[in-house]
């Protein structure tokens, strides 16, 4: 018996003795899907979403300035960098909101603090706060579940709501006979049997195919996003997924088209479009949010890179956004407009976007969204971004 058949037997034939944990019939099942993609390291919003129309742009960016012709035009001011060109289709289908001059609510240039703020959704560092995705699971109605598609449990999903994790496993070392015997042992343990079956089930959803090649092991973005889609598109699959990619801390030689950062952006764009395709029908209820802990300095540094800054860019993606648009209260790049004379000035709070994303994806009201982001009463959700 191959693994797929084996798991199917376990989950269907075994329902009399143990419930398959991914399906709960007692409550109405949540249909929405939200994928939170964290770009760890502080990704350079000015290199990804290029404000070529800003009069100060070319001189400010110097060696890192793009020619307008090389960009994918969004409007008169902004264009996407060459690596992000695969997102063109999303833009044309009214599925892409480009966010800019956006920042977390707390001013820090520390990765540690910045990621903690973004992932807890609190407005200042708090040692023991739950992640906001976990709070979202606590607040959401209906039958729902969350999963971390990452090597560890990201802070954003940590908390009292039980969530799953999945990372590309080296299942080559285990065969079905071994797994089957292990499953028999686990069936005798009431506290663990459901969890073990869930693991087999997830593994079955992913199958062998999407992880083919060594890309995922090296942290390639597209294979992991494809695998994520295979888990999320299932009926009754997880509603919330946290994913994370690193490599964005570009202090040196970030380059232009074809350079280090542009190649990484290309992987990201490829991953997003592959995810969209693999979600199949489930894409209709799916939203992706892409964010980072901080933007980078507006000017290049002495090593053709950029240092830790403040505001940056992000993306809100899915068929349920109101329309494709650049959403930014653009502060400008003139010397006097820069935050502390060096960074893009923040004019948009990450929580305004996140509130809109969760409300639009899961039919939450403003009060519920407010419980996911405590102490955010003064931050109005940008609800009009979602249709």
Residues in contact with another protein by the rule CB under 8 A: 112, 116, 125, 127-128, 151-153, 155, 158, 160, 162-167, 169-171, 173-174, 178-179, 181-182, 184-186, 188-189, 191-193, 195-200, 202-203, 251-252, 301-303
3-state secondary structure of 185: helix
The answer to whether 291 and 100 are in contact (CB under 8 A) is no
Pick the closer one to another protein by CB: 108 or 320.
Answer: 108
Q: Which residue has the tokens 């039919």?
A: 363
* Smallest gap from residue 187 Cβ to another protein (A): 8
By C-beta, is 181 or 323 nearer to another protein?
A: 181
Shortest Å distance, C-beta 370 to another protein: 21
Alpha helices in 121-175 (DSSP H): 132-139
Residue 133's closest CA among 284, 354, 385?
354
CB of 319 to another protein, least distance (A): 29
Minimum separation from the CB atom of position 261 to another protein (A): 15
Q: Which C-beta is closer to another protein: that of 251 or that of 263? A: 251
CA gap 87, 313 in Å, rounded: 15
CB count within 10 Å of CB 66 equals 20
What is the spatial distance between Cα 135 and Cα 122, in angstroms, rounded to a whole number? 11
Helices 260-279, 221-232: axis angle to 10 degrees equals 20
Q: How far is the CB of 164 from another protein (least distance, A)?
A: 5
CB of 40 to another protein, least distance (A): 12
Between 174 and 284, whose beta carbon lies closer to another protein? Answer: 174
Nearer to another protein among residue 68 and residue 112 (C-beta):
112
Instruction: Select 17 or 365, whichever has its Cβ closest to another protein.
Output: 17
CB of 294 to another protein, least distance (A): 16
Reported in sequence order, the residue ranges of the chain that DSSP labels E, i.e. its strands, are 33-39, 49-50, 72-73, 79-80, 96-103, 146-149, 164-166, 240-245, 286-292, 312-317, 325-327, 348-349
Q: Considering the complex, what minimum distance in angstroms separates the CB of residue 8 from another protein? A: 17
| C-alpha to C-alpha distance for 124 and 374, rounded to whole angstroms | 11
Between 162 and 235, whose beta carbon lies closer to another protein?
162
Residues near 123 by Cβ (< 8 Å), separated by ≥ 6? Answer: 105, 106, 117, 375, 376
Tokens of 217: 């092991």
Nearer CB in complex with another protein: 143/180: 180
């Amino acid at each position: 018996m191959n693994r797929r058949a084996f798991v199917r037997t376990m989950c269907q034939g075994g329902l009399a003795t143990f419930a398959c944990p991914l399906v709960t019939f007692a409550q109405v099942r949540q249909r929405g899907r939200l994928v939170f993609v964290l770009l760890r390291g502080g990704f350079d919003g000015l290199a990804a979403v290029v404000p070529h129309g800003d009069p100060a742009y070319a001189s400010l960016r110097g060696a890192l300035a793009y020619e307008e012709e090389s960009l994918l035009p969004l409007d008169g001011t902004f264009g996407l960098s060459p690596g992000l060109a695969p997102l063109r289709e999303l833009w044309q289908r009214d599925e892409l909101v480009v966010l800019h001059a956006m920042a977390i609510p707390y001013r820090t240039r520390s990765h540690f603090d910045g990621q903690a703020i973004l992932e807890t959704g609190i407005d200042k560092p708090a040692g023991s706060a739950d992640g906001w995705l976990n709070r979202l699971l606590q607040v959401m109605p209906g039958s729902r579940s969350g999963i971390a598609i990452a090597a560890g449990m990201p802070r954003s999903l940590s908390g009292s709501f039980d969530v799953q994790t999945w990372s590309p496993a080296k299942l080559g070392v285990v065969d079905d006979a071994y797994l089957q015997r292990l499953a028999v042992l686990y069936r005798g343990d009431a506290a663990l049997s459901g969890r073990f079956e869930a693991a087999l089930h997830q593994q079955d959803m992913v199958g062998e195919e999407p992880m083919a090649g060594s890309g995922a092991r090296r942290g390639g973005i597209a294979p992991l996003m494809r695998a994520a889609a295979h888990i999320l598109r299932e009926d009754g699959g997880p509603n919330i997924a946290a994913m994370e990619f690193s490599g964005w801390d570009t202090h040196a030689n970030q380059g232009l088209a074809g350079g280090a950062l542009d190649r990484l952006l290309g992987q990201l764009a490829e991953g997003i479009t592959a995810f969209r395709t693999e979600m199949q029908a489930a894409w209709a209820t799916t939203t992706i949010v892409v964010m980072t802990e901080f933007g980078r300095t507006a000017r290049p540094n002495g090593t053709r890179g950029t240092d830790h800054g403040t505001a940056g860019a992000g993306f809100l993606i899915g068929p349920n956004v109101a329309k494709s648009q650049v959403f930014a209260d653009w502060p400008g790049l003139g010397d006097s407009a820069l935050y502390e004379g060096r960074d893009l000035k923040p004019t948009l709070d990450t929580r305004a976007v996140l509130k809109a994303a969760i409300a639009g994806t899961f039919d939450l009201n403003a009060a519920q969204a407010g419980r996911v982001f405590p102490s955010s009463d003064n931050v109005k959700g940008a609800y009009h971004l979602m249709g």
